[in-house]
Structure 1
């Protein structure tokens, strides 16, 4: 492993264990076994390294969920079953990656003070949305279309909400079947009111 990769691995460990704001450049250097000067050489700044580490950690999380769902590849699942299964698999990953979710919310809270965070997170939005859309449809990838991005944006909004609920009260987080039922209730209310005569 080269210095750049070691720094990313160390930064991801620090994100998980200490969070975004409490991690120092020295913490990262110690965790990675690489000199402080290497941070500037490879990333320009500690913040740029932390941003890259968060994006990579979220990609690692997406691959972990994808691997967990790969076991269902041969199964014939209805859209309802796949939706519920995806959420249940996602919930299983929260416990092992609690630090990652805390760090992500911490970073989002800093966007007004650290514009590079907003830029970094904004640049990764589209890929994240397309990835979620593909995951929930049981596909390797989906086309870059407005509908797929909108599907992913809706799932991303749900994911952020579920993650926030889990961080606050893990025992109260709705499971996949509960989320599906909530979606049914919401859709019937919205579609019912849209169809009702005015």
Structure 2
């Protein structure tokens, strides 16, 4: 591995262990075994490196999410049971990647003061939404359409909401069955024809 790759790996470790805001350039250099000067040479700044590391780590988490969906596909051919199994698997995946989710929320809270971070997160939104739409539907990919983006936005909102609840109180985070019940209740209330 070269210095650039070592820095990226060290930055991801720091995100998991220290978070976004508490990670210093010295922390990254120490975790990667690379000089402080290499951060500027390869990435321009600590922030640019952390932003790239965060986006890459989230992408890697998405790869793990694909495995969760594949396992759910084996549970049942029934769409509702698959939905429940996916969200149960997502909940388990949070435990393994708690540091990453905490770093993401921490980073999001700083976007108003960090234009580079705001741009990095905004630039990844569309790809992330289409990826989530494909994953949760059990498809290798989906077309770049308004319909698929809307599905992706919905899954992204559920995912971020579940992550926030899990980070705050893991034992109180919704289960897959809770999500299914909520989806039914909201669907009934919103999609039911208005009484005349």
Task: Please tell me the TM-score bracket, short chain as reference.
Answer: over 0.9
SS at match of 2:142: coil
RMSD over aligned CA atoms reads 1.3
Consecutive aligned runs of 4 or more in structure 1 exceeding 3 Å deviation: 71-76
Asked if 1:195 corresponds to 2:194, the answer is yes
- The residue that corresponds to 1:79 in the other structure is 79
What TM-score, normalized to structure 2? 0.95
What TM-score, normalized to structure 1? 0.95
- The residue that corresponds to 1:62 in the other structure is 62
SS at match of 2:113: coil
- Unpaired stretches in structure 1, ≥5 consecutive residues: none
Q: Deviations over 1:98-140 (max 9, x none)?
A: 1111111111111111011110000000111111111111111
CA contact (8 A) 1:11 1:31 kept: yes
- The residue that corresponds to 1:180 in the other structure is 180
CA contact (8 A) 1:79 1:137 kept: no
The separation in 2 between residues aligned to 1:47 and 1:113, in whole angstroms, is 12
In the TM superposition, residue 85 of structure 1 has moved relative to its aligned partner by: 1.6
Larger displacement relative to structure 2 (66-75 or 158-167): 66-75
The 1:123/1:140 distance shift into structure 2, 3 A limit, reads same
The separation in 2 between residues aligned to 1:82 and 1:73, in whole angstroms, is 6
The separation in 2 between residues aligned to 1:6 and 1:27, in whole angstroms, is 13
Map of 1:1-198 to 2, 5 A cutoff? 1-73=1-73, 77-192=77-192, 194-197=193-196
The separation in 2 between residues aligned to 1:68 and 1:162, in whole angstroms, is 15
The separation in 1 between residues aligned to 2:69 and 2:5, in whole angstroms, is 27
Q: Deviations over 1:138-194 (max 9, x none)?
A: 1111111100000000110111111000011100111111101101000101122x4
In the TM superposition, residue 71 of structure 1 has moved relative to its aligned partner by: 3.7
The separation in 1 between residues aligned to 2:96 and 2:180, in whole angstroms, is 24
